[in-house]
Amino acid sequence: MSVIDTIKDQIEKNSILLYMKGTPRFPQCGFSSRTVEALMSCGERFAFVNILENPEIRSELPKYANWPTFPQLWINGELVGGCDIVTELHASGELETMVKAAAESDETPAE
């Protein structure tokens, strides 16, 4: 499986996915820390990939996403954005709506 295939698979299998530096408990940069804080305040579980432990994803994801920086939040297969966008969405209340809807769709059994 190529790195791009791995990225596509991660995005497809996780309705809420954060590519970040570090982990939610131990973020390794201020931008990742602020993004995790906003995401955690929504009260739903989310997947994450520590790009510091995955150098090939760290180098390929910006090309795939056409987004140069980390963190990157993906919801339902769509790139939401990085720290600034996520914190703005959080401040407006939109982030919680998006996260809750994605989490709800995970819990809905497929017909």
Q: Tell me: is residue 29 an annotated ligand-binding position.
A: yes
Q: Tell me: is residue 45 an annotated ligand-binding position.
A: no
Q: Tell me: is residue 83 an annotated ligand-binding position.
A: yes
What sign does the dihedral 81-83-89-93 (CA atoms) show?
positive
Q: Tell me: is residue 70 an annotated ligand-binding position.
A: yes
C-beta atoms surrounding 23 within 10 Å:
15
Give the annotated binding-site residues for [2Fe-2S] cluster. Answer: 29
Give the annotated binding-site residues for glutathione. Answer: 21, 58, 70, 83-84
Give the annotated binding-site residues. Answer: 21, 29, 58, 70, 83-84
